[in-house]
Structure 1
């Protein structure tokens, strides 16, 4: 990795290590560091959402949001687009400033590839549990009982 105006090679490696620890932790808020947050909002084309806590709440509070966030680092179908701007300039083909971070951003995608399948599976399970629980609460609120045959039929 190369030194650039706003990030040394050492800072890039440290951010990459923090990224890996964050993924390994199952996206633990404790492992979502200030340095990682700043890299995501400054060089990966994410909106800040006012603070690290606001960003975390936006992208990691439910399964659907987690899947959406991870899609930005999933290279399975080629160069992934930013989930905010829908462009690829954060990873390739951007301006000179964006290009200074292609090394770390591409490494983030490479590292994420190992964790994305497991994290997405867990996120989908989490979302399903949430959705089913919400559906049950809404049915109960309106005093509606769901009969199994209605679901299967």
Structure 2
């Protein structure tokens, strides 16, 4: 049996239009998609992380709230490794991605939000490689800075002195 792809999922649901669902209108879905792309295009900077996007991620994409928008941002975007983990939920290069917090695909395959969530994956596909490279670089820098501080703590000089 052929593995289901994101494109297969979208094709099986009909035309790529956003539709009203019980807790989110098509207009609200459009707004979230605009905020999503702005956030990705802005390099995941906090100033682009909107309340509407946060609420959609926690209400309809199977993410835990982490207390509030600030806790959520700190959880996923202040460490390169955590950012990579977050991005993996929207990365369709290996098929339909599972929720990183619950391990299932309902967030993407369920009837009410498949349209907006599938489109989020399609948008993310354009940005993920660059955002992954940025996250890996930031994590490397953070790790090396921490290593230098640990060496200094124990009286060991780092060759070259700085990272």
TM norm structure 1: 0.91
CA separation in 2, counterparts of 1:51 and 1:146? 39
Instruction: State the match for 2:80 in structure 1.
Output: 63
User: What does 1:19-34 align with in structure 2 at a 5 Å threshold?
Assistant: 19-34=36-51
Aligned pair 1:128/2:140, yes or no? yes
TM-align CA RMSD = 1.1
Aligned pair 1:104/2:116, yes or no? yes
Match of 1:82 among 94, 99, 102: 99
Higher relative contact order, structure no. (Cα contacts within 8 Å, ≥ 6 residues apart)? 2
Q: What's the secondary structure of 2:90's corresponding residue? A: coil
Runs of at least 5 residues in structure 2 that lack an aligned partner in the other structure: 1-17
Structure 1 residue 144, shift from structure 2 partner: 1.9
CA separation in 1, counterparts of 2:20 and 2:41? 26
Runs of at least 5 residues in structure 1 that lack an aligned partner in the other structure: 93-97, 149-153
Aligned length: 143
User: What are the superposed Cα offsets for residues 71-100 of structure 1, whole Å, 9 maximum, x if unpaired?
Assistant: 0000000000111001111112xxxxx321
Q: What's the secondary structure of 2:24's corresponding residue? A: coil
